[in-house]
């Protein structure tokens, strides 16, 4: 949300913002233009600070999630390697076994 100021009467300045529907919401009123400018600037700085804080929180959460995903990938890679080593010790197709698209097929031996 961005704060702005508008002249509402010849001697009154309103500081506020517009909603998504375009409706003006007054936060404060001032008799001097420079006071309205100062208040709008102050509110916008505060809003930016809040947005930055929210972005930092989101970044930290994403870093944590990324770390967890990296740990899971490393674990899966280790398990995959262990399974490959076990697979290498399995009997070959000469005894009637084969793997087709990840499915173990056992042929009848005559």
Please write the tens of the pLDDT for every residue from 34-72.
999 999 999 998 888 888 999 999 999 999 999 999 999
**pLDDT reported for residue 8:** 92
Tell me: pLDDT of 76 over 90.
Answer: yes
Tell me: pLDDT of 92 over 70.
Answer: no
**pLDDT reported for residue 46:** 87
> And the tokens for 107?
């042929």
For the question of whether the overall pTM of this predicted structure is more than 0.85, the answer is: no
Q: For residues 26 and 80, give the distance between their C-alpha atoms in angstroms, rounded to a whole number.
A: 62
Q: Under the phi-then-psi rule, with left for phi > 0, alpha for psi from -120 to 50, and beta for the rest, what region is 102? A: left
* Residue 87 binned pLDDT confidence (cut-offs 50, 70, 90): confident
Please report, for residues 3, 19, 26, the alpha-carbon distance to residue 23 in angstroms, rounded to integers and kept in the order given: 13, 5, 10
- Taken as a whole, the chain contains a residue count of 110
């Amino acid at each position: 949300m961005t704060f702005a100021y508008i002249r509402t009467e010849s001697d009154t300045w309103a500081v506020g913002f517009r909603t998504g529907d375009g409706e003006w919401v007054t936060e404060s009123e001032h008799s001097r233009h420079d006071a309205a400018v100062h208040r709008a600037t102050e509110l916008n700085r505060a809003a930016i600070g809040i947005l930055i804080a929210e972005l930092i929180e989101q970044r930290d959460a994403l870093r944590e999630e990324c770390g967890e995903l990296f740990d899971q990938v490393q674990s899966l890679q280790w398990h995959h390697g262990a399974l490959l080593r076990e697979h290498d010790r399995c009997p070959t197709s000469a005894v009637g076994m084969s793997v087709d698209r990840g499915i173990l097929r056992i042929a009848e031996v005559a």
